[in-house]
A and B are shown apart, each in its own frame.
Chain A
Amino acid sequence: MEMAPGGIPLAEGGPDRDGLEMDVLTVRLGPVLPHWPAGLVLHCSLQGDVVGSARAELLDATGDLQNAADGPARRLDRVASVLALAGWDDAAGEARRVRDAILDGGPEPTDAMLARLRRKVCRSWVLRRSLRGLRPLDEDDIDHHGLPVSAVGDSYDRLTRMLDRAVVAGDPPGHESGPAISTDHLAHLVTGLDLATARLVVAGLDVHDLRAGQVEHEVAHG
């Protein structure tokens, strides 16, 4: 018998990681969220705050994302997202300021600003602690999930790499964008993580381009 107080069905129990039963909440992430790839929708089943299973889809997949000639600026946007999700608003604000400076033009001061930001980020042991070991990926995983080579390592590696590549300004757009990431694989990457780390992992992937998956199957944990 299903009860629905106020028109919302009660959460049903489901097997949890520890072998016990826990309520399953269906939560949709996206398509519009701060620090989130635009258009990505993640249909999650949450137990507590752990993503038990997820299905990803892409809204408005025809959107032209390739006209972004400003590689470093976009990358700094993502850096700012990761920092904001890691709860470091000040550093995120600084990353956004560097991004604005880059978009405004004027190459000399931005290099120094970038270097300062990079130093600040790399010096923080709390940040390193919270990002180290998050969804580590090796070469095989990369091949399997169709991710760019720059995704090797854990979220901390990916963040520092993004910063490094933002420093190397002016690489041609599309040069290292690699293959578009399929939404199917994205769902795999966040399954079994809690909401906060899932968001950190998604933001930390240098996602240039998302491709709607061929198979929109549900990815379950386990």
Chain B
Amino acid sequence: MADPMAMPGPGSPTMEVAPAWAVAAVALLGALVVVAALLDGILASRASGGPGRTMSGLARPFGEAARLMRQRRRTTVQADTVLWRIGGAGLLVTAALMVTVVPLGDWTVFDLDVGVMWFNAMDVMVWALVWLAGWGANSAHALVGGYRFLAHGLGYELPLMFALVAPAIAAESLNVGRVAAAQEGLWFVVWMPVAFLVYLLGVAAFSVWGPFAPALGSDVAGGVRAELSGVDRLLFETGRYALLAAGAAFAVPMFLGGGAGPLLPGWAWVLVKTLAVLTVLVWLRRRLPAFRPDTFMEVGWMVLLPAVLVQDLLVAVIAVWRS
């Protein structure tokens, strides 16, 4: 079997668009962020009490954004300002870099031969960013939040990497467009469901979302974001939603057949599928208690990692047998 890394660039099924279109990609990401925030606002207000709360839920993200934009920036004594700001603002940048390799139907901003690795590199960068956001404030609570994120990271990162390996093996390519094209007829989610589920968990984890939110826990005054205020906090929260949205978007070419689907054009299908995955991720937060950071590594290494390795093995055997 050919080494996927050795696959040449030309002949990729997707077309690279002019770099200026990156602005459109970011705008699209922004729209997904707004949708995710609205959805979370509605679900939160529905959970907090009876009927008729949907409208207040819809207003919630905008009200919160307006509040944060007017809030004065709080500083702490001897904060490591540069690193702190890098950590706070970096999540949004990382999410934007992630979506550059996600093909929207036939177009992609950045038709990289190793797009899957690119995405993986970006999600590893989140480790540094969240840790720096916790470290930079020079606050014990924020620091504890940073520790908690790293503890989760040790548990989720390897399973996530191996979950990304499965579609790449099956497609014999690390080019995201080719992985999407390789699902002609049968989506990868159908025959690698374990990898898909582990991938979704990984997305929630690097977005510090839902069961992976103890790093931002109320028991440590908001953890990593304890001292973030005003625009810094708005950027951090937006970055989390953006990571969630980017993770959902990347699931589409990796597991859900890319732009494949009846009637609608490819780009529309990508958006529909992205929204579906994003909805599931947002909703997940309501359903699950947190995974404790100090015990999650056990789950990650004793359950998720073996499961996803077996999945990889199965996929590899099938890929060899087919070729």
Contact of B292 among A6, A7, A46, A196 (CB under 8 A): A196
A167 near B: Cβ within 8 Å? Answer: no
Option from B49, B148, B213, B219 in Cβ contact (under 8 Å) with A35: B219
A126 in contact with B219 (CB, 8 Å) = no
A46-B289 in contact (CB<8A):
no
Q: Please give me the residue from chain A that is nearest to B43 by CB atom.
A: A90
- Is B194 positioned at the interface, with any CB of A under 8 Å from its CB? no
Whether A207 sits at the interface, judged by CB under 8 Å, is no
Please tell me which stretch of A80-88, A111-119, A137-145, A146-154 contacts chain B, meaning at least 4 of its Cβ atoms lie within 8 angstroms of it.
A80-88
Is A194 a contact of B294 with CB atoms below 8 Å?
A: yes
Is there a chain A Cβ closer than 8 Å to B47's Cβ? yes
Nearest Cβ on chain A to B260's Cβ, whole angstroms: 34
- Closest chain A CB from B73 CB (angstroms): 18
User: Which residues of B lie under 8 Å from residue A129 when comparing CB positions?
Assistant: 295
Cα separation A130 to B287 with both chains bound (whole Å): 15
Total interface residues in chain A, CB < 8 Å: 33
A5 within 8 A of B: yes
**Other-chain residue from A5, A27, A88, A195 in contact with B289 (beta carbon distance below 8 A):** A88
Residue A127 is within 8 A (CB to CB) of chain B in the complex:
yes
A127-B289, A130-B289, A196-B292 given; A93·B48 CB < 8 A: yes
Chain A contacts of B214 at CB under 8 A? 87, 196
The reply to whether A25 and B290 contact each other, CB–CB distance below 8 Å, is no
* B77-A199 in contact (CB<8A): no
Least CB distance, A46 to chain B, in whole angstroms: 7
Interface of B, helix, strand, loop or mixed by DSSP: helix
Chain B contact-residue range equals: 20 to 34
Asked if B211 lies at the interface with its beta carbon under 8 angstroms from chain A, I say: yes
**Bound Cα distance A199, B292 (Å):** 12
Contact in complex: B140, A87 (CB < 8 Å): no
Chain A residues closer than 8 Å to B213, beta-carbon distance: 87
CB-CB under 8 A for A49 and B289, given A87-B217, A195-B220: no
What distance in Å separates the Cβ of A191 from its nearest Cβ neighbour in chain B? 16
Q: Please tell me if the beta carbons of A46 and B144 are within 8 angstroms of each other in the complex.
A: yes
Q: Determine whether A106 belongs to the interface, using a CB cutoff of 8 Å to chain B.
A: no
**Residue interface mask B64-93, A partner, CB < 8 A = 1:** 000000000000011000000000000000
Nearest chain B residue, comparing its CB with the CB of A200: B219
* Chain A residues closer than 8 Å to B217, beta-carbon distance: 85, 87, 196
**Interface status of A97 (Cβ within 8 A of chain B):** yes
The answer to the question of A63 belonging to the interface, with a C-beta cut-off of 8 Å to chain B, is no
3 closest cross-chain pairs (CB), A and B: A87-B290, A88-B289, A6-B78
A-B contact pairs, 9 of them (CB 8 A): A34-B219, A48-B144, A87-B214, A88-B289, A89-B44, A91-B289, A93-B48, A126-B288, A126-B289
